[in-house]
Amino acid sequence: MTEYAHLYIDGAWVPASGDFLDVIEPATEQVAATIRLGDEGDVDRAVAAARAALPAWSATPLSRRVEYLLALAAGMRAARDELADLIATEMGAPIGLGRAVHVGLPASVLESHADVARELELERRVGTSIVTKEPRGVVAAITPWNYPLHQIVAKLAPALAAGCTVVLKPSVEAPLSTYRFFRLLEEIGLPRGVVNLVTGRGREVGEALVRHPGVDMVSFTGSTEAGRRIGTIAADLVRPVTLELGGKSANVILDDADLPAAIQAGVANAFLNAGQTCSAWTRMIVPASRRDEAVDLVRAEVAALAVGDPKDRSTRIGPLVSEAQRASVRRYIDGAIADGHTLVAGGSTAPDDMPRGWYVRPTVFADVDRASALAQEEVFGPVLAMISARDEDEAVAIANDSAFGLAGAVWSADEDRAHRVAARMQTGQIDVNGARFNPLAPFGGYKQSGIGREFGTYGVEEYLQVKSVQL
């Protein structure tokens, strides 16, 4: 068992001041490591370091900042296997998914931000004024456990490209890969104080960071409940904030779609990362006229999903991150059964051959009431709700009948029709006929899914403020 008792502040590993906490491996329910948390004093020291580093970093040529981003991406790719193993240990993601998505995707995001940074227009003439864009300053970045490195990079890359300095508070549920990531920051020679690490619980270290007078901006990814709390604090302080929160995304399959292709992609998306993905398409809206065909296809796809040890290369679905998360998902499944929804696959009991580990079988319900908890609330586990729609208008109405609006999908043999439906959907990003994720496009939500955008030029703009100089 490894002990992590230090924080990374002002370019050095320094002893943390708070309590010790065990990190439990979801697949074995055994202690994998012990970490020591930070406290308010550690937050003070980290913010002071970021504040002191800000003038020099913001004045660093953009070309040099790009070099650091690319060096960090190369470091992540070189350490891919080690990082993926740590993620499998700390939050149960299958090792193959870890290499490709948990490590490979954030490395690509770093590279895409290097491309964006090269093209940034930081000054322009507007009539009789010079308009400049300047870094917001010290950023408090608070990240979740479900994609530990991806969420860190989604904040770190644009902040560094913009010339900001950062104090990061990662999730205490999955911190191990973050420690290794900060070793990479050391290895590339990032100047001291530019990025700092303070671990801790949200109500203690997170709130201390959000409230700190030395912080200029807050960037948070996590639950809608926590986002409301952070947004309230930031509003009281008149402090800019970006919030990437929950989702209940709709996968709209129209009556002329290639149903097998749409079902295959939809199931893969809904159960990615054991369903612990804010943008997962957890509502599958199918034509009522093809309901039985869709159910049969979904049942076959789910049956082929290999549930097991996250360190086995053949595993598609690993355990949930914690016992509490498993209990929450089981309550939703049992509630859906009690509500009379049609159970197509799975259920709340663990797989028969897995008595240990926080596993939940991939579960699908059909004939789901659009007003039910299963259709309206974010389960954050391997549970898919199938809802039938009589026609295109009803499908759009069901898709928009949500407090969330983070992601979604549309499938149709007629691409123009798909685009017309996408234009009617109230959500931040939509895939048409299985289009792939684009790290240059903005990511963020409508309604209670958040405020602001990440990735591409749109993401970097969040970390810049505008000044006009009249001539």
Q: Catalytic residue positions?
A: 244, 278
Which residue type sits at 92? G
Alpha helices, DSSP H only, in 119-249? 148-162, 176-187, 207-211, 224-236
Q: What is the DSSP letter of 435?
A: P
Tokens matching residue 98: 């870890």
Q: How far apart are CA 150 and CA 156, in angstroms?
A: 10
Helix (H) or strand (E) segment spanning residue 96: helix 95-97
Q: Are 422 and 405 in contact, with CB atoms under 8 Å apart?
A: no
Q: Are 21 and 37 in contact, with CB atoms under 8 Å apart?
A: yes
- The SS3 assignment for 195 reads strand
Which residue type sits at 249? S
Q: Which residues contact 445 (CB under 8 A, 6 or more apart)?
A: 244, 245, 247, 404, 405, 406, 407, 427, 428
> Tokens 């409301």, residue?
228
CA atoms 202, 203, 205, 206: torsion sign: positive
Q: Are 224 and 247 in contact, with CB atoms under 8 Å apart?
A: no
Tokens matching residue 435: 């289009």
Q: What are the residues facing 243 on neighbouring strands?
A: 220, 451
